[in-house]
Amino acid sequence: MTCLFCKIANKTIPADIVFEDEAVIAFNDISPQAPVHILLIPKKHIENILEFNENDDRLLGKITGAIQEIAKKTQMDTQGLRVVTNTGEDAGQTVFHVHFHLLGGRSMQWPPG
Ligand code: 5GP
Ligand code: ZN
């Protein structure tokens, strides 16, 4: 098993975990791009958002619920947050286990680069 985020999900390699349930795990990004920069992943290996299927409805609900809970925990629910899932080469995806960047704690620009 070579996937970095699978290894984080099964605790083979350490991460600074901020939220976990049976389906998802969230941890601080090793190279934060904002005062709050958390990565939220399903524990199950899925390459990117295009690979979810109809059997993943419950998992997608878990992901949404985790985003809401983490936003509250980090006060990003009041000031705002940006949720990003880079998908494929052009978007700059570097780890091919789907992950949601939860970014906040500062104001941001649009459009992204
Ligand atoms: P992507 O570029 O695929 O959208 O995002 C991958 C993210 O994973 C990057 O923001 C990068 O900093 C983060 N990352 C890469 N390796 C590690 C690691 O070993 N631990 C943690 N916590 N984050 C990592
Ligand atoms: Zn994986």
Measure 113 CA to ligand 2 centroid, in angstroms. 27
Q: Are 23 and 62 spatial neighbours (Cβ–Cβ below 8 Å)?
A: yes
Q: Count of domains in the chain? A: 1
User: What CATH number has the domain bearing residue 17?
Assistant: 3.30.428.10
Residues 6+ apart with CB under 8 A from 108: 34, 82
Residue 113 located in a structural domain: no
Query: Does the residue 112 lie in any domain?
Result: no
5 lines ligand 1 (CB under 6 A): no
In a domain, 109, yes or no: no
In a domain, 110, yes or no: no
* pLDDT at residue 78 in the model: 97
Count of Cβ atoms closer than 10 Å to residue 75 Cβ: 12
pLDDT at 1 over 90: no
- Is the pLDDT score of 33 beyond 90? yes
Per-residue pLDDT of 46-99, as tens digits, reads: 999 999 999 999 999 999 999 999 999 999 999 999 999 999 999 999 999 999
Q: For residues 41 and 33, is the Cβ–Cβ distance under 8 A?
A: no
The minimum-distance atom of ligand 1 relative to the CA of 27 is 22
CA of 83 to the centre of ligand 2 (A): 20
Residue 35, domain member (yes or no): yes
Domain range holding 8?
Answer: 4-104
Does this model's pTM top 0.95?
A: yes
CB 83 within 8 A of CB 36: no
